[in-house]
Amino acid sequence: MWKNLKAKSTLVILVVAAALWFSYPPFAVHDETGNVIKEGKINLGLDLQGGMHLILEVDVEGLPAHVARDAPQRAIEVIRNRIDQFGVLEPAIQLQGNNRILVQLPGITDRERAIEIIGRTAHLEFRLVSDDPELIRAAMDGEEIEGYELKVMDTRDGRQETLLVEKAVVMTGDRLVDATTEFSQEAFGQPYVSLELDGEGSRIFASTTGMHIGRRLAIVLDGEVYTAPVIRERIPSGRAQISGNFSIQEARDTALVLRAGALPAPVSIIEERTVGPALGRDSVEQGIRAIIMGGIGVLIFMLGYYLLAGAIANVALIMNMLIIAGVLSYFGATLTLPGIAGLVLTIGMSVDANVLIFERIREESALGKALRAAIHAGYDKALWTILDANVTTLITALILFQFGTGPVRGFATTLSIGILASMFTALFVTRLFMDLITTGNAKIKQIKMMRFFSCPNIQFVKVRKWAYALSLVIIATGMSFFVSRGIDNFGVDFTGGTLQQFEFRETVEVGAVRSVLAGIGVGDAVIQQFGEGRDFIIRSISGKSDAIIDGLNERFGEGSFEIMRMETVGPAVGEDLRRAAFKAFLFAVIGICAYVSFRFEFRFAITGIIALVHDVLLTLGMIALTGREITLPVIAALLTIVGYSINDTIVLFDRIREDRKFMRKASLAEIINASINQTLSRTVLTSLTTLLVVLSLFIFGGSVINDFAFVLLVGVIVGTYSSVFIASPLLIDWPGKRSARRQR
pLDDT tens figures, 230-288: 998 898 888 888 887 778 888 888 888 888 888 888 888 888 888 877 777 777 788 88
Is 140 in the same domain as 220? yes
Residue pair 165/149 in contact (Cβ under 8 Å)? The answer is yes
130 and 114 in one domain?
no
Residue 589 maps to a domain: yes
Mean residue pLDDT across the chain: 85
pLDDT of 729 reads 92
Cβ contact 621:474 at 8 Å: yes
Domain endpoint, select from 519, 534, 569: 569
Name the residue type at position 326: G
Residues 637 and 561 in one domain: no
Quote the number of domains for the chain: 4
Dihedral sign from CA coordinates of 637, 640, 642, 648: negative
Distances (CA, A) of 257 to 111, 195, 456: 16, 12, 74
160: β partners = 154
Distance CA 494, CA 431 (A): 46
634: domain CATH number is: 1.20.1640.10
Same domain, 213 and 69: no
Q: What is the dihedral of CA 428, 430, 432, 434, to 10 degrees?
A: -140
| CATH number, domain with residue 229 | 3.30.1360.200
Give the pLDDT confidence of 38-52 residue by residue, as tens digits.
Answer: 777 888 877 777 888
The per-residue pLDDT for 644 is 77
Pick the last residue of a domain from 232, 262, 292.
262
Assign residue 65 the CATH number of its domain. 3.30.70.3400
- The β-bridge relationship of strands 148-154 and 160-166 is antiparallel
Range of the domain at 531: 498-569
Cβ atoms 16, 421 nearer than 8 A: no
- The pLDDT tens digits for 643-690 are 778 878 888 898 898 898 888 888 889 999 999 998 888 888 888 888
Residue 17 counted as domain residue: no
Per the CB < 8 A criterion, the answer to whether 28 and 234 are in contact is no
Closest CA relative to residue 280, chosen from 613, 705, 632: 705
Task: Please give the helix or strand (H or E) that residue 272 lies within, else none.
Answer: strand 267-275
Domain membership of residue 25 (yes or no) is no
Q: 583 and 564: one domain?
A: no
Residues 96 and 152 in one domain: no
- 306-318: b or e for each residue (b if 16 or more CB lie within 10 Å)? bebbbebbbebbe
Query: From CA 425, how far away is CA 423, in angstroms rounded?
Result: 6
Euclidean distance between CA atoms 314 and 293, whole angstroms: 14
Inside any domain, residue 37 = no
**What count of residues does the chain have?**
744
Q: Are residues 735 and 588 in the same domain?
A: yes
Contact yes or no for 291/343 (Cβ under 8 A) = yes
110 with 167, same domain? no
Helix (H, G, I), strand (E, B) or coil at 381: helix
List helix spans (H) across 46-186.
46-49, 65-86, 111-119, 133-140
Report yes or no on 38 lying in a domain.
no
Establish if 26 belongs to a structural domain: no
Q: What is the DSSP letter of 263?
A: -
Same domain, 115 and 130: no
Element (H or E) spanning 225, and its range? strand 224-227
**Which of 537, 569, 601 is the endpoint of a domain?**
569
H-helix or E-strand spanning residue 553: helix 545-556
Statement to judge: residues 242 and 307 lie in one domain: no
User: What are the 10-residue block averages of pLDDT along the chain, 744 residues in total?
Assistant: 78 92 80 66 80 87 80 88 77 85 82 85 90 88 89 82 91 89 79 90 92 92 89 89 81 86 85 79 80 87 92 93 91 80 77 88 88 91 86 85 75 87 92 86 78 80 93 95 90 84 89 89 83 84 82 90 85 77 83 85 88 93 91 82 81 89 88 91 86 87 83 91 92 62 44
Are 99 and 231 in a shared domain? Answer: no
Look at residue 374 and tell me if it is in a domain. Answer: yes
Nearest to 273 by CA among 469, 389, 406, 466: 406
pLDDT at 740: 43
DSSP 45: P
Residue 28 in any domain: the answer is no
Beta strands in 559-648 (DSSP E): 561-569
Residues 327 and 364 grouped into a single domain: yes
